[in-house]
């Protein structure tokens, strides 16, 4: 296999698509550079992968959990050996800075090790029976073939945090990554291949969402689909899978608030707002996009936020001096420009940025300045819709109670944060905020791998990923009544 053209991985073999066509992935920091190519697969390629996964699952589920765990440990070791190459590919393919890419790859290694250990943990409970001569217990069992559909913004961590629990609990997997991150995902799949997983247990099929993603949703041999991506696509997948009686898990958008109370540590709050909102160029579902500040400190906070945002270095993620890279693609670049124009049109004041960057080394990339809007009201588009770019919307309130009400005034409910020292405000925030991830005196982005992750309202199907909570989606329950 060429180092620049990546094939599908189906039934333990690397195979070209039946279409004979490829999809090229470009470097968003230099749109003339092709990072690599992946297969533009057809429905037949996908169906072949699903067939192999279905056949392989019968033997895979019968292995001891510890034995399945050994394969995950080996994949983790190989990912660690190839960390530099995979992180570099990620930076070149979707633009995040190299330190961020290395951090994400390290996270993938840790997730594999965590779930490898799951093979030695309890998979059921003994339940008291009314019959004293009987033994009754529950036993978790795999659900079968799992379709994994992942986005481009975390091309290592998200595929792994879906695949690892699916595999350790005895399922087989067909991975369909977003095209903009598919070269990176293919390099991760090489680690799974070299780890020696039995043929058909892990499969990789690249291609368009309308063909491969839709195909995973429609294929009746795919018992469950786990998806991270946009709301419109996620809702469509959920409807299709539910209609045929399958299981689905959807993690979608966010419009995450960070509340700055008048007693907050302003320096810490500013740093968290910039890190949570602009790291990875704002291309995280948990990024801080609405900054809700009490009026008594609003001007002081805004001034400091602008001062520190002006210090941000924008550039190629491979440059050690770069703090924020480009938008990941031309499509995302155009989307962010659209929302900036919309903010101006609807009356928000542009306090900083808002321009594309085309000078010098930035001329061939999809670069946009860190952007801060002032005087944003909750009815504005930039206060309601996910932008997925380096844009912050400042909103002023008089009280923390008003801030929480404003924070909840969106369709989404993924992540939320508050900066305050007031225990009453903290407790009210924890109880009243409509979000699956609640953070106190910390940025909205990020969750530890051993903790449940997921949102409320339009952000999620209310299933949870990661940690012990993943077991709920990737297994089902048997109740056993045994009498001699």
Please identify every residue annotated as catalytic: 251, 285
Return the exposure string of 404-425: e unless at least 16 CB atoms fall within 10 Å of the residue's CB, then b. Answer: bebbbebebbbbbbbbbeeeeb
Distance CA 24, CA 33 (A): 10
Distance CA 305, CA 271 (A): 8
Q: How many CA atoms lie within 13 A of 37 on its CB side?
A: 13
DSSP string covering 239-297? HHHHHTT-EEEEE----EEEEE-TTS-HHHHHHHHHHHHHGGGG-STT-EEEEEEEGGG
3-state SS string for 91-154: HHHHCCCHHHHHHHHHHHHHHHHHHHHHCCCCCCCEECCCCCCEEEEEEEEECCEEEEEECCCC
Q: How many CA atoms lie within 13 A of 50 on its CB side?
A: 23
Distance CA 340, CA 315 (A): 20
């Amino acid at each position: 296999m060429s180092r620049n053209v990546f094939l599908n991985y189906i039934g333990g073999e690397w195979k070209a698509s039946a279409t004979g066509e490829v999809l090229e992935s470009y470097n968003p920091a230099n749109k003339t550079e092709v990072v690599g190519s992946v297969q533009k697969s057809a429905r037949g390629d996908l169906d072949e992968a699903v067939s192999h996964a279905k056949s392989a699952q019968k033997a895979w589920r019968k292995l001891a959990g510890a034995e399945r765990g050994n394969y995950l440990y080996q994949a983790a070791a190989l990912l660690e050996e190839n960390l530099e190459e995979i992180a570099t590919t990620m930076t070149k393919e979707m633009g995040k800075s190299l330190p961020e890419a290395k951090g994400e790859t390290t996270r993938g290694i840790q997730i594999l090790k965590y779930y490898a250990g799951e093979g030695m943990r309890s998979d059921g409970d003994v339940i008291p029976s009314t019959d004293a001569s009987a033994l009754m217990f529950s036993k978790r069992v795999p659900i079968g073939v799992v379709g994994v559909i992942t986005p481009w913004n975390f091309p290592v961590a998200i595929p792994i945090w879906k695949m690892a629990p699916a595999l350790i609990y005895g399922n087989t997997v067909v991975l369909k990554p977003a095209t903009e991150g598919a070269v990176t995902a293919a390099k991760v799949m090489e680690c799974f291949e070299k780890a020696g997983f039995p043929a058909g247990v892990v499969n990789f099929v690249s291609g368009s969402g309308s063909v491969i993603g839709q195909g995973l949703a429609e294929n009746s041999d795919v018992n469950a689909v786990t998806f991270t991506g946009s709301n419109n696509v996620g809702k469509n997948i959920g409807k299709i899978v539910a209609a045929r009686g399958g299981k689905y898990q959807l993690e979608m958008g966010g419009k995450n608030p960070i509340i700055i109370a008048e007693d907050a540590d302003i320096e810490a709050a500013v740093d968290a707002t910039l890190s949570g909102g602009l790291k990875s160029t704002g291309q995280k579902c948990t990024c801080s996009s609405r900054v809700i500040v009490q009026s008594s400190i609003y001007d002081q906070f805004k001034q400091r936020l602008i001062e520190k945002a002006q210090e941000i270095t924008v550039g190629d993620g491979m440059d050690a001096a770069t703090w924020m890279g480009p938008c990941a693609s031309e499509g995302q670049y155009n989307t962010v420009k659209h929302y900036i124009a919309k903010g101006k049109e609807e009356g928000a004041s542009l306090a900083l940025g808002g321009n594309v960057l085309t000078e010098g080394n930035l001329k061939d990339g999809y670069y946009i300045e860190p952007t801060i809007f002032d005087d944003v009201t909750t009815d504005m588009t930039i206060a309601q819709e996910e932008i997925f770019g380096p844009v912050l919307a400042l909103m002023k309130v008089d009280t923390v109670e008003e801030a929480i009400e404003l924070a909840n005034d969106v369709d989404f409910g993924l992540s939320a944060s508050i900066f305050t020292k007031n225990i009453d405000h903290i407790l009210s925030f924890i109880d009243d905020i409509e979000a699956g991830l609640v953070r106190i005196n910390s940025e909205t982005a990020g969750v530890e791998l051993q903790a449940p992750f997921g949102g409320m309202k339009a952000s999620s199907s209310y299933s949870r990923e990661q940690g012990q909570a993943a077991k709920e989606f990737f297994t089902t329950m048997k109740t056993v009544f045994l009498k001699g």
